Chains A and B, each alone.
Chain A
């Protein structure tokens, strides 16, 4: 099945939650809204063989509304290919459902996203900072967090 047909299947399955698809440099991206995030991932994993979670991360688009992209790379061994599943997270309510029910390994990726972007995950088994110390203030990979750290004023 071509990725375009896969998009159609997703749309049929989640008619109210499917937001669109795009091909860029040979890579396919599918957007669903937050409500269908986990179910769409489970559907692609169980029904279409995209059963390996290669990566899960977020991107901060500071001036856009909704502000964050949550992006998962799913890999299929049978098809020898991957796709990107995305959802949008607004700044006012930065939370999504956890993927740990589908892949146990999503645990640390989500902890890292929580650590770096401040996006929280509902029903996550132990949502705490992964790389930074627990008493750290702020989420460094947000675009409005200065590279030099919050306490340093820039050199003039």
Chain B
């Protein structure tokens, strides 16, 4: 295709390039990039035959911030903060994926206590992310009350993150070599107290939506994705599991301490919006279970990062008594650490699906290449298949059921 022919004056892909103008009775329409139901800045070019979608082409890139290029000029510790900003609904999962990838490059050993804390935090952020999905997808279908209840609950989890790291969203709390700081006093009790109230909340959400006839009408049979298509388009996570792909990175290629946890991987075969809803609801239940187990496994005190001084700085008291500690401190804060040359791929199960960090090291203190495989990109890519033939009013339901984040798509 000739690039000149599809460029409009504003430098965006024109409607002509993305819409279907073969039949003059079709209406070609832009939905987004500023539209409340696209959950960010997604632009969809919809070709409509009356109310029915003939073709729906996504156009992405409005939130592109060049994270992969920026990472190449930052040291390994600095590049961590970029990962928060990709899937901003679950920053702790992004932190973990990055930290695990760099630790694999370094061959670093992580204390067991740290791995369990990481699991707890990742599952809490899974709950927070799924609560946003549940709230907004309810809102898109007209269920306003779900939205208010879910955001109230999510705010409580974000308060916990604020206690931990000082910020609600851009936590950067899981760092290479361990955690940014030890858990604050009484944190585990706060989590326990929060979790005590969670099952009742979840039951209420089920009461609001699961058997609700309007919700069933809006989601059942809408946006069905077959197993084969899910595999071909690289769909992962809840989207793939709702289509019958029995795969969960936490269970099948366990990272961090997930091998020690017991949980069920929910599975559906219908592949429609309702199946994706059921799978995520069950995932919230399982995330709650994992959090409970993690609380029992986390030792009240112990190391919060590795003792390897080549990766993490020594404690302050040591610097004032040991010359070697001072040198380590100085080297780490001026130069950073340099993993041996090589490349690794580390995948984790983020709330959206498989999040992969492909890190290439040339032996210097900055990543030679950081490539992030994000789950949302594959899911948005599958949109044309899902949207074909559905009604205009159902487009927002399909979008919501995929649960993508544009920061994750565009990076």
Contacts and interface: CB of A to CB of B under 8 A. Distances in A.
Interface residues of B, number: 49
B70 interface: yes
Interface stretch (A5-13, A35-43, A129-137): A129-137
Q: Which of B66, B105, B247, B411 has the most CB of A within 10 A?
A: B66
A131 to B, nearest CB: 4
Contacts of B232: 103-105
B47 interface: no
B68 interface: yes
Nearest to B346: A27
Nearest to B385: A104
Interface string B6-29: 110001110001000000000000
- Interface SS majority for chain B: mixed
A145 B73 CA distance: 12
B141 to A, nearest CB: 28
Nearest to B245: A77
A24 B6 CA distance: 44
Contacts, number: 108
A53 B234 contact: yes
Interface residues of A, number: 40
A92 B330 CA distance: 44
Contacts of B105: 25
Interface stretch (B125-133, B208-216, B270-278, B354-362): B354-362
B381 A105 contact: yes
Nearest to A127: B1
Contact of B410 (A24, A81, A131, A135): A131
In the A-B complex, the 8 residue pairs with the closest CB atoms: A131-B61, A133-B11, A105-B234, A55-B373, A105-B233, A135-B11, A131-B64, A104-B232
Interface of B: 1, 3, 6-7, 11-13, 17, 60-61, 64, 66, 68-70, 72-73, 104-105, 107, 229, 231-234, 245-247, 252-253, 342-345, 347, 354, 356, 358, 360, 368-369, 371, 373, 377-378, 381-382, 410-411
Interface of A: 24-25, 27, 29, 51-55, 57, 59-60, 71, 73, 77, 80-82, 84, 103-105, 107-108, 116, 126-136, 140-141, 145, 147
10 contacts: A25-B104, A54-B354, A54-B356, A57-B358, A82-B347, A130-B61, A131-B60, A131-B410, A134-B11, A140-B69
